[in-house]
């Protein structure tokens, strides 16, 4: 707020000091009515054009081991677009706008073009759209503890047909968010924010995905079942899906022709621990002798009935290749996820040794 130039106007100074002038934030206390608290916080967020924050997310689902994700979110609130840069458990980027979502597991050869953010990844969007989420929610109560004010709400999250119990904690001293929580069904998500910046100075093109050299797109069709059936009809080999025991979620699938004129299918999956896996398949009539990517040094491993060629990628990532009958399967993803998937595949009773 600009400093007054005419200091002799005592009445105006007293009025401003009382917190009544020119948009000065209003104090929030235990006695402030809940709707007034919500209105005051939204008023303080009114000039947020963009935000950037580091997020530590804990995701707990009944019957499963809790997962922890670390990422940075950068959001253009004014235009409804944001970027999520996941650093743990494996590096991955999401570029989201009103038209599409780009889903890129770092150091892999493909990125996915999705019609929207997958349902399993919806919590990643919370920090990117908190003001809109608050406006769309129903306030239940308010808790005030010193500078920290928590709005407890019923929210249309993660889908418009399923209400979640949501809480948003705001620091009235620093005027930033400190925590977001949501619970729906058997799922409980907690996101702790740090280095929260409002209207930060950002480099040009921060919301634009520029594919690294050699990285090509994979377009997702709108319905997984239909897409899979279409893909099966467009290739001349049986598509080898991950075993059901691996509990992988198919996010995208596409077919095409490689430089050698062979039909290929490319599939993107999400593992139970949220790690991304890209699987590329094509027909092969000969036993494998190495990784298809000749630029990678490969080692040969025997995993159950599988003979697998494995190469290391940066950031604890891995590429593995093997044959399932006459289909060449190439997996790219976090080393731990690829190893788990290989073990599940090798345990399949109907699997024929690859050599």
The C-alpha atoms of residue 170 and residue 153 are separated, in whole angstroms, by 14
270 lies in which domain range?
222-346
Decide if 209 is inside a domain.
Answer: no
Alpha carbon of 343 to those of 25, 278, 339: distances in Å? 58, 17, 6
86 and 162 share a domain? yes
68 and 28 share a domain? yes
228 and 110 share a domain? no
184 and 329 share a domain? no
The C-alpha atoms of residue 82 and residue 51 are separated, in whole angstroms, by 9
Alpha carbon of 332 to those of 105, 106, 159: distances in Å? 9, 10, 31
Contact yes or no for 153/135 (Cβ under 8 A): no
Instruction: Report pLDDT for 73.
Output: 96
CA–chain centroid gap for 58, Å, is: 13
Instruction: Report pLDDT for 226.
Output: 55
39 and 178 share a domain? yes
45 and 179 share a domain? yes
CATH number for position 165: 2.50.20.10
Instruction: For tokens 């002038």, name the residue.
Output: 21
Nearest CA to 65 out of 274, 352, 337, 323 is that of: 274
Decide if 245 is inside a domain.
Answer: yes
Contact yes or no for 326/353 (Cβ under 8 A): no
250 and 335 share a domain? yes
Decide if 19 is inside a domain.
Answer: no
Query: Quick one: average pLDDT of 64-71?
Result: 85
48 and 142 share a domain? yes
Q: How many domains does the chain have?
A: 2
CB-based contacts of 149-158 (< 8 A; 24+ apart in sequence): 149/28, 149/37, 149/41, 151/37, 151/38, 151/41, 155/182, 157/122, 157/126, 157/133, 157/182, 157/184, 158/119, 158/122, 158/123, 158/182, 158/184
Decide if 1 is inside a domain.
Answer: no
| Other CB atoms within 10 A of residue 181 CB | 19
Beta strands across the sheet bearing 81-88:
138-145, 148-159, 162-171, 176-184, 187-198, 50-61, 67-76, 81-88, 92-96, 101-105, 110-114, 216-219
271 and 133 share a domain? no
Q: Is 346 exposed, middle or buried (0-12, 13-18, 19+ CB in 10 A)?
A: middle
CATH number for position 301: 3.40.1000
Task: Work out the mean pLDDT of the chain and round it to a whole number.
Answer: 81
% of residues, the chain, pLDDT over 70: 85
266 and 161 share a domain? no
Residue 350 above 70 pLDDT?
A: no
pLDDT in tens, 5-40: 333 333 333 333 333 434 567 788 788 899 999 999
Decide if 215 is inside a domain.
Answer: no
Decide if 141 is inside a domain.
Answer: yes
Decide if 239 is inside a domain.
Answer: yes
Strands 216-219 and 110-114: parallel
Nearest CA to 149 out of 128, 177, 178, 170 is that of: 170
39 and 78 share a domain? yes
Decide if 51 is inside a domain.
Answer: yes
The C-alpha atoms of residue 189 and residue 198 are separated, in whole angstroms, by 23
Contact yes or no for 55/107 (Cβ under 8 A): no
Q: Is 22 left (phi over 0), alpha (psi -120 to 50) or beta?
A: left
Pick the more confident residue, 140 or 251.
140
Instruction: Report pLDDT for 177.
Output: 95
Instruction: Report pLDDT for 143.
Output: 94
Contact yes or no for 137/113 (Cβ under 8 A): no
Pick the more confident residue, 40 or 98.
40
Nearest CA to 1 out of 113, 187, 20, 96 is that of: 20
103 and 177 share a domain? yes
CA–chain centroid gap for 204, Å, is: 22
pLDDT in tens, 256-294: 777 777 888 888 888 887 788 889 898 887 878 888 777
The C-alpha atoms of residue 340 and residue 88 are separated, in whole angstroms, by 17
Instruction: Indicate the pTM of the whole model.
Output: 0.64
């Amino acid at each position: 707020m600009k400093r007054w130039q005419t200091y002799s106007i005592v009445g105006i100074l007293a009025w401003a000091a009382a917190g009544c002038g020119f948009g000065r934030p209003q104090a929030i206390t235990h006695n402030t009515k809940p709707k007034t608290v919500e209105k005051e916080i939204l008023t303080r967020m009114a000039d947020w054009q963009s935000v950037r924050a580091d997020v530590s997310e804990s995701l707990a689902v009944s019957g499963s081991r809790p997962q922890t994700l670390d990422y940075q979110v950068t959001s253009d609130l004014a235009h409804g677009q944001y970027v999520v840069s996941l650093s743990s458990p494996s590096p991955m980027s999401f570029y989201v706008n009103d038209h599409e979502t780009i889903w890129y597991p770092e150091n892999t050869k493909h990125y996915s073009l999705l019609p929207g953010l997958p349902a399993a990844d919806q919590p990643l969007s919370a920090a990117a759209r908190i003001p809109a989420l608050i406006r769309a929610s129903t306030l239940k109560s308010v808790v005030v503890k010193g500078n920290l004010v928590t709005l407890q709400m019923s929210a249309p999250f993660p889908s418009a047909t399923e209400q979640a119990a949501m809480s948003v904690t705001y620091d009235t001293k620093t005027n930033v968010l400190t925590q977001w929580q949501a619970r729906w069904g058997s799922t409980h998500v907690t996101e702790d924010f740090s280095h929260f910046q409002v209207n930060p100075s950002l480099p040009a093109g921060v919301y634009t995905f520029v594919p690294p050299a050699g990285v090509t797109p994979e377009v997702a069709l709108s319905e997984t079942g239909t897409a899979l059936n279409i893909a099966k009809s467009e290739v001349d080999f049986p598509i080898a899906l991950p075993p059901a025991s691996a509990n992988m979620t198919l996010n995208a699938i596409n077919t095409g022709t490689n430089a050698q004129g062979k039909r290929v299918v490319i599939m993107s999956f999400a593992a139970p621990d949220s790690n991304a896996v890209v699987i590329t398949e094509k027909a092969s009539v000969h036993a494998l002798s190495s990784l298809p990517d000749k630029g990678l040094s490969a080692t040969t491993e025997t995993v159950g009935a599988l003979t697998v060629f494995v190469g290391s990628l940066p950031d604890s990532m891995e590429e593995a290749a093997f044959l399932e009958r006459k289909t060449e399967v190439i997996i790219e993803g976090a080393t731990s996820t690829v190893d788990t998937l290989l073990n599940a595949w090798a345990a399949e009773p109907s699997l024929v040794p690859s050599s």
